Amino acid sequence: MVQIFLDTANIDEIREAASWGVLDGVTTNPTLVAKTGRKWADVVQDILALVDGPISLEVTSTQADEMIKEGRKLAKLHKNVVVKIQMTTEGLKAIKVLSKEGIRVNTTLVFSANQAILAAKAGAKYVSPFIGRLDDQGQEGMQVIREIVTIFGNYDWDCEVLVASVRHPLHVIEAAKLGADIVTVPFDVLKKMAGHTLTDVGLKRFLDDWQKVPK
C-alpha cells in the first residue's frame, strides 16, 4: 500500500492528520520549519512525540564531513529519525558513510532518474524526486517518477521512492498508480484527498431526511 507522509513542520496539522489514522511519517525541510516561526529543537521534539514513523530531518551543511557529523547527531535524537541529505556529490559521500553506519538517509532535491540511481547506489534508503517543482518549470515531474520506479524495480533495489513537492491530489493518484512507495503531501492536499462535494451533498440529504423520520 502506498505510504502517506505529511510534508510539514506544523504540529497542529500533524496532530490532526495522525488522528485520522492515515499518517505513516513526516518530512521536514528548513523552509517548512522557518514557516512555523518556532525553534527547530522544539518543532522536532513535538513531531517525534506525535508520530511513530520515519521523520526526515534535513542537514544544513554542504561539505561531506560536516554533513556526516550533522547526520550522526540527528540520527541519535530518535530511532525514527531519517537524515535528509541534499543530492550533491558531497551529499553522495555523506550518504555512503552514514548508510554504512546503519543510518537511514532520504536524498532530497532529486530532479532526475540519474540522480536517483546515484543516490540509491551510494546507499540511500529513500530518494525524494520533487515533482511539483519540475511541473512548475514545464517538465513533467511524473515522468521522472515513472522512470525511477521502473529502474528500481528492474534491480530490486532496497531504496524507496518518496514522491515530494506534491501540489494536488492528482499527483497522489498518479504516483500510487505507478507504484511509488511513499507520497509526502502538504496538509491542504491531504484534506482535499479526504473530501468530495458529493459526500457533502449526500450527508446533508441524509441529515435533512433524518429530521423527517418520526421518532
Q: Given candidates 3, 8, 108, 115, which one binds ligand E4P under the rule CB under 6 A?
A: 108
Distance, CA of 214 to CA of 36 (rounded, Å): 51
Q: By CB under 6 A, tell whether 128 contacts ligand E4P.
A: yes
Q: Which stretch binds ligand E4P (CB under 6 A): 71-79, 125-133, 152-160, 200-208?
A: 125-133
Q: By CB under 6 A, tell whether 8 contacts ligand E4P.
A: no
CB of 61 to ligand E4P, least distance (A): 17
CB of 198 to ligand E4P, least distance (A): 29
Q: Given candidates 53, 132, 169, 179, which one binds ligand E4P under the rule CB under 6 A?
A: 132
Residues 149-178 that bind ligand E4P (CB under 6 A): 164-165
Q: Given candidates 72, 93, 133, 168, which one binds ligand E4P under the rule CB under 6 A?
A: 133
Q: Which amino acid is at 108?
A: T
Q: By CB under 6 A, tell whether 184 contacts ligand E4P.
A: yes
Is 212 among the residues known to form the active site? Answer: no
3-state SS of the chain is: CCEEEEECCCHHHHHHHHHCCCCCEEECCHHHHHHHCCCHHHHHHHHHHHCCCCEEEECCCCCHHHHHHHHHHHHHHCCCEEEEEECCHHHHHHHHHHHHCCCCEEEEEECCHHHHHHHHHHCCCEEEEEHHHHHHCCCCHHHHHHHHHHHHHHHCCCCEEEEECCCCHHHHHHHHHHCCCEEEECHHHHHHHHCCHHHHHHHHHHHHHHHHCCC
Q: By CB under 6 A, tell whether 181 contacts ligand E4P.
A: no
Residues 20-49 that bind ligand E4P (CB under 6 A): 27, 29
Catalytic residues: 84
Residues that bind ligand E4P (CB under 6 A): 7, 27, 29, 108, 128, 130, 132-133, 164-165, 184
